[in-house]
Structure 1
Amino acid sequence: MNTSMPFLQQPRSLERCVTGRPTRDGAGVRLTRVLTSDLQQRLDPFLMLDQFGSDDPKDYGAGFPSHPHRGFETVTYMIAGRMRHKDSTGGEGLLQNGGVQWMTAGRGVIHSEMPEQEEGRMEGFQLWLNLPGKDKMCAASYKDIQSADIPEIRPVEGVLVRLIAGRVLNTSGAVDRPAQSHPTQVLYLDVHFERETFLDIPLPNGHNAFVYIYRGQARVGDSGTQVVDLHQMGILSNDGDGLRLHAESVSRVLVIAGQHLN
């Protein structure tokens, strides 16, 4: 276990746990909707979080044919599999193991996300991030981030952190945008615990934040008694200077936070 001294003075507590709802989207892709519409106000600026994961091609093979978005951003993080993105701006890219697709819909875009595999595991997440009112009619854009371009750090022994977006522990993520132009100041981390240990992650006071456990389980907070189980989202209180995660075994945790837009 990690015996280094923690640096958080007041770790955030766990407000509640949420279990996702099974559903289908696109042309019948089986997925779990974790952040649903009833949580949008509490977790502003985040609008939706879906998890997809299956070894059965019948669950994902039909993909997501052309469909429109407007006024927000979609962030797709692929854990395993291959998916081809095409959109009405001419953007195209292959999303594959460990990579991220970041699309700003702005004033409107039509895109498709179609599997480029007929067997094997397809697993990942799609997060919807709201845009402030002044930016909702901006030009649509698309960016592919390959796995090798996502910064990784080892802040303590036995922990690997992949920094998808934002800045934490003196390191910038693959997407790190100035607060003046992107006031949501989104933080998106994929934390891999390789053994029993804990990790402190500073978070700005008042930013809405949650964790999602997609391997193992983790404990949240100073007491270490607040457990978030596998396939649960733990919504964090807004008081405190950061998140303390304690894993007792191999676990993987998404950590997501952002400044609310009201």
Structure 2
Amino acid sequence: MDAIVNSSRVIPAVAVPEGAGVTVYRTIGTPVLRDYDPFLLLDHISSNNPDDYSAGFPAHPHRGFTTFTYIINGHMVHQDSMGNSGDLGPGTAQWMKAASGVIHSEMPKQENGLLRGFQLWINLPAANKMDHPEYQEYSAEAFPVVQTPDYTLKVLIGRFADTQAPIMDNLTEVTYFDVQVKPGKRFQHHLPTGNNSLLYVFEGDGKLNEQIVPLHSLVILDPDDHSFNFAAGKKEARLIVISGKPIHEPIARYGPFVMNTREQIDQAMRDFQTNNFVRDRAWIKRDQ
């Protein structure tokens, strides 16, 4: 059951089997929270046990949205049906605008050790769902880091103060930060007006506006609050902070297809079944 932090919701992560049997911890995309416009899914993978991740995510299609994959520890190898490939290592991230259609796989490169990271699905407006697919992949060094006496913040998407990430989202104005708050210190942040915003604590714990937020919990921040104040506990706390502009359009969803109508979903399924799914070639943009 989710709890209330002031007027915000706290939602515990739920273990879900995904891919060929990978255990992920899901907060958005469950019966408790099916979506949070423009966000469709948020999965957290974190395990030292290869049985939890070694099966990986064999070839599967996407249409109608963008995925953002952030690897914190370990390695994932990406390949698609168009000949693109890449190795996502520690601190790297991939922005994949699937749009009209991509068939790809994501498989662990490692056979043991810690694999940890996140995948976020971001909806696309109806006018952009059938755009050409696009990739962006960046090394850990490409993402700027803001250091203060209280916290360290990695800017993954969008802008934080005067610091800009290499990835910008002009459609839903997403911002995505990885924040490490020192023991007993605070992170205060002003939220973009009109956006839907959230945070997820994946190391330690803390208090949001003086209310306890446990480990592996997502907090849906009240859109009427224009800022929040997160304080770490006795240990360092680490969290992702995500915000985006809602689209306010109908969602028709079936597995890896997210469109606006059932007819569009049916068309996506026909395209996939008749090998007409991938319409446009995508090339990977990298920083190196």
Question: Could you tell me which residue of structure 2 aligns to residue 246 of structure 1?
Answer: 231
**Separation in 1 of the partners of 2:123 and 2:46?**
25
**Separation in 2 of the partners of 1:90 and 1:82?**
19
**Separation in 1 of the partners of 2:46 and 2:186?**
27
Which of the numbers 192, 205, 208 marks the counterpart of 1:217?
205
Q: Which amino acid aligns with 1:28?
A: G
* TM-score of the aligned structures, taking structure 1 as reference length: 0.88
Q: Which amino acid aligns with 2:221?
A: L
1:181-202 Cα shifts (integer Å, max 9, x gaps): x231001000011322112212
- Tell me if the contact between 2:16 and 2:23 (Cα under 8 Å) persists in the aligned partners: yes
1:24 aligns with 2:9: no
1:202 aligns with 2:190: yes
Question: Could you tell me which residue of structure 2 aligns to residue 58 of structure 1?
Answer: 51
- Tell me if the contact between 1:89 and 1:140 (Cα under 8 Å) persists in the aligned partners: no
**Shift in Å, 1:14:** 4.8
> Where in structure 2 are there 5+ consecutive unaligned residues?
249-288
**Separation in 1 of the partners of 2:150 and 2:106?**
35
Question: Could you tell me which residue of structure 2 aligns to residue 175 of structure 1?
Answer: 167
Which of the numbers 201, 211, 221 marks the counterpart of 1:236?
221
Which of the numbers 221, 243, 255 marks the counterpart of 1:257?
243
**Shift in Å, 1:234:** 0.8
Question: Could you tell me which residue of structure 2 aligns to residue 128 of structure 1?
Answer: 121
Higher relative contact order (CA 8 A, sep 6+): 1
Alignment of 1:54-133 (within 5 A): 54-133=47-126
**Separation in 2 of the partners of 1:218 and 1:195?**
9
**Identity over aligned pairs, percent:** 38
- Tell me if the contact between 1:205 and 1:240 (Cα under 8 Å) persists in the aligned partners: no
3-state SS of 2:187 partner: strand
- Tell me if the contact between 2:199 and 2:218 (Cα under 8 Å) persists in the aligned partners: yes
Question: Could you tell me which residue of structure 2 aligns to residue 164 of structure 1?
Answer: 156
1:16-51 Cα shifts (integer Å, max 9, x gaps): 11012211111111111111244245x200000011
**Separation in 1 of the partners of 2:135 and 2:228?**
31
**Separation in 2 of the partners of 1:174 and 1:202?**
21
**Shift in Å, 1:238:** 0.6
- Tell me if the contact between 2:60 and 2:105 (Cα under 8 Å) persists in the aligned partners: yes
3-state SS of 1:195 partner: coil
Question: Could you tell me which residue of structure 1 aligns to residue 179 of structure 2?
Answer: 191
Question: Could you tell me which residue of structure 2 aligns to residue 4 of structure 1?
Answer: none
3-state SS of 1:260 partner: coil
* TM-score of the aligned structures, taking structure 2 as reference length: 0.80
**Separation in 1 of the partners of 2:146 and 2:166?**
12
- Tell me if the contact between 1:40 and 1:46 (Cα under 8 Å) persists in the aligned partners: no
> Where in structure 1 are there 5+ consecutive unaligned residues?
1-11
1:87-134 Cα shifts (integer Å, max 9, x gaps): 123321110111111111010000000111111111111100001111
Aligned pair count reads 242
